[in-house]
Structure 1
Amino acid sequence: MPQPYNQFRAMLAITKASLKAVFRSPSAVIFSFAFPMIFILVFGFIGGGGGINVRIAFDKRSDTTAVLYHAIKSVTGVRTVQKEEKEIIEDLEKGRITAIVNIQKSKDTLSAYKISFKSSGAVNPQNLQVLRSIIESIVKSMDEDKFPERKTVATISKNVEEIPGRVYRTIDFILPGQLGFSLMSAGVFGVAFIFFNLRQTLVLKRFFATPIKRSYIVLGEGLSRVIFQLITAVVILLAGHYFFNFTLIHGFTTFIELLVLSFIGLLVFMGFGFVVSGVAKNESVIPPLANLFTLPQFLLAGTFFSIDNFPSWLQPICRVLPLTHMNDAMRNIAFEGAHLTDCGKQLGVLAIWGVISYVAAIKVFKWE
């Protein structure tokens, strides 16, 4: 008695064949493995801490009427953060801000004000030294003009109150961005080229002559991309952790959660790959169409530097992009100690983009 046709086994056969084809594709290996690893190697060798980046917050007890307070706030190279006290302390512990500055009126005749700093072990010492130098230059320039009757407008405390903190290395920012971009590129370009070529070479048409259902064809091809990219994610995460001390705050638990997040992000980005493959009229149209989606995110989604560095009018656009939320969730889980359940906002935005992409994909997808 003949056995019924096994759709699942047929899907696995398609997955296996497609996975072999992906590993034999130089472009897939280069853009998924080599391209991100090159950037990770470059930034990994740059050094342990971040670069010069002076961001401060003022102690809530600071004298905000002081002319010195307004002078410091007006310096172009110093960015003032205004948040709740608890959030400021958290940022300080993670090295996101250089110091909390406290300006108080002096009780002696030597100076009008006293300035003190609170910093953390996670802050780059160069940043703290730059901040001190900036304030010293402000004080020096104000001494003769505004306070000639005193020796100096302000004395700066030599002792810095330091709280414990974890060093936020360059690799802790760069690696999630590179992994996110690798997943997005593979999801969009990989799916777009695969399904367009299957359609053009009449492979899909040959599949139709077999008993396999169309949904299993899509699942088989999609599963091969997912397996390949999860292997990529494993390699990138382990290389970053063991060679460059990339932070996995909860160890193996964090590693698994990052893989789950990679899987979710890849599913979302693959939807846009299906859209491109359905819209493209020929193979040469695929790269520009795919780049319309990927290139802005490569530049604006916090892949290489924080979107806080962009002009204020551009930041809302950056915060809409799915890769921005993918990168934020990865950094929160890897370094901040958050879990997937704490990333509801980021996962929600990714889910919205996923619905949009697959609704569009269903409308434009072609089998022949």
Structure 2
Amino acid sequence: MNPKPYSNTKATLAIAKASFRSILRSPSAVVFTLAFPLIFIVVFANIGGGGVKVDVGVAKTCDTIGPVYQALKHVNVVNFIRDQSEEDMKNNLSKGTIDAIIDIKKNAARPAYTVNVQYTKASGEKGNILRSVLSNIYYNINNGAQVNSPPQAEIRETTVSGREYKYIDFILPGQLGFSILSSGVFGTAFVFLSLRLTLVIKRFFATPVKRSSIVLGEAIARIAFSLLGALFIILVGHYLFGFTLVHGVVTVLNMLVLSAMGLIIFMGFGFIISGIAKNESTVPPLSNIITMPQFLLSGTFFSVSAFPKWLQYISNALPLTHLNNAMRKVAFEGAGLGDVTHQLLILLIWFVIVYAVAVKTFKWE
């Protein structure tokens, strides 16, 4: 009787199954993938956000020379957006992507300036922040006018309807990105370094198992675990804190696809670290060099627009920034994967760069 030919597919699945069980038994994997993100979600969903700037669209006809605009220009919390068409501004206003549209008119008669402001229900408390700023400017300008003279400026407000934008809609995708980043970098780096140092990989070489089966098996296990964690985080956020899922199940599936893409890229960083690390004690500092800047600068807790301009350039170069932005667009705006091609293109560029380096640095023995 001829023996059955060796199946690398079965070997891959066996490795994936064993690795998945190992991940479930790892306290650090559970903490970074589930516990930390959930703690941050619970805390920030209940205390609200901070450090998020008010994005104000400036109409093409807006007076940008007069005292009202100049006073607004010096308010740090206000971030002007001037590079969008009128139609795009109105669409983004209804989505909550921008928080208000301002159009200042200079008049020939009194009042000298009329401030037309469109708010949106989708912005929540950020509209109230701008309203307070404008009221203060209005008071200061009119207080400087002559006694009994007509006001120098008046404010006219309208509010458009829109989906309510809660802070959980901002914080949850960021925490989901943090979970994927941690799992991909730390998990992969520790696993492959450990397999190499304990000579497990060397023992694999004594069998017919292909090297690709080893990598693929570990990758399948980590992707399966991370996607289950992502699904759990999304459902907890939706049912307990009202996280917006515009298209329900379709939105969840799109977020899981993005999570898988992000994880594959971040695993590449893990392969690089496992190749250059000398021992397990060098993994955390090397991993933190990659994870901490992204954790702090990629819009995990605060909008990137809250940072100084020079820092925004760095933030917008990081892969986690684009993963977070893509997931927020999919979840709150109802975008499909075809609507986030810009973010996907940046992630693809990172994929090519990371795995090009990983191929050069990864070690089997």
Alignment correspondent of 1:323: 320
Looking at structure 1, the residues matched to 54 and 362 of structure 2 have their Cα atoms a distance apart, in angstroms, of 49
CA contact (8 A) 1:192 1:274 kept: yes
- RMSD over equivalenced CA pairs, Å: 2.2
Alignment correspondent of 2:170: 173
1:78 counterpart = 2:75: no
Alignment correspondent of 1:10: 11
SS at match of 1:168: coil
Aligned letter for 2:78?
Answer: V
CA contact (8 A) 2:177 2:320 kept: yes
Give unmatched runs, 5+ long, in structure 1.
Answer: none
Pick which of 71-80 and 231-240 moved more: 71-80
Matched ranges for 1:1-368 at <5 A: 1=1, 2-46=3-47, 53-82=53-82, 83-105=84-106, 111-124=111-124, 126-143=125-142, 145-147=144-146, 150-157=149-156, 160-368=157-365
CA contact (8 A) 1:258 1:334 kept: yes
Task: Say if 1:187 and 1:121 are closer, same or farther in 2 by CA, change over 3 A.
Answer: same
TM-superposed deviation, 1:156: 3.0
TM-superposed deviation, 1:20: 0.7
Looking at structure 2, the residues matched to 184 and 169 of structure 1 have their Cα atoms a distance apart, in angstroms, of 24
CA contact (8 A) 2:168 2:241 kept: yes
Q: TM-score of the superposition, structure 2-length normalised?
A: 0.92
CA displacement, residues 27-59 of structure 1 (integer Å, 9 cap, x when unaligned): 111111111111111122235x88874443344
Aligned letter for 2:113?
Answer: Y
Looking at structure 2, the residues matched to 130 and 8 of structure 1 have their Cα atoms a distance apart, in angstroms, of 58
CA contact (8 A) 1:15 1:223 kept: yes
Looking at structure 2, the residues matched to 257 and 290 of structure 1 have their Cα atoms a distance apart, in angstroms, of 28
SS at match of 1:122: helix
Task: Determine what percentage of the aligned residue pairs are the same residue.
Answer: 52
Aligned letter for 1:177?
Answer: G
Aligned letter for 2:256?
Answer: L
CA contact (8 A) 1:122 1:168 kept: yes
Looking at structure 2, the residues matched to 294 and 149 of structure 1 have their Cα atoms a distance apart, in angstroms, of 61
TM-superposed deviation, 1:225: 0.9
Give unmatched runs, 5+ long, in structure 2.
Answer: none
Looking at structure 2, the residues matched to 318 and 65 of structure 1 have their Cα atoms a distance apart, in angstroms, of 31
Looking at structure 2, the residues matched to 239 and 297 of structure 1 have their Cα atoms a distance apart, in angstroms, of 24
Aligned letter for 2:104?
Answer: I
TM-superposed deviation, 1:149: 6.9
Q: TM-score of the superposition, structure 1-length normalised?
A: 0.91
Looking at structure 1, the residues matched to 132 and 223 of structure 2 have their Cα atoms a distance apart, in angstroms, of 51
SS at match of 2:114: strand
Looking at structure 1, the residues matched to 190 and 143 of structure 2 have their Cα atoms a distance apart, in angstroms, of 69
Looking at structure 1, the residues matched to 360 and 51 of structure 2 have their Cα atoms a distance apart, in angstroms, of 47
CA contact (8 A) 1:63 1:104 kept: yes
Aligned letter for 1:272?
Answer: F
CA displacement, residues 253-296 of structure 1 (integer Å, 9 cap, x when unaligned): 11111111111111111111111111111111111111111111
CA contact (8 A) 1:301 1:307 kept: yes
Aligned letter for 1:60?
Answer: K
Count of residues paired in the alignment: 363
Looking at structure 2, the residues matched to 362 and 216 of structure 1 have their Cα atoms a distance apart, in angstroms, of 16
Pick which of 347-356 and 192-201 moved more: 347-356
Looking at structure 2, the residues matched to 212 and 138 of structure 1 have their Cα atoms a distance apart, in angstroms, of 72
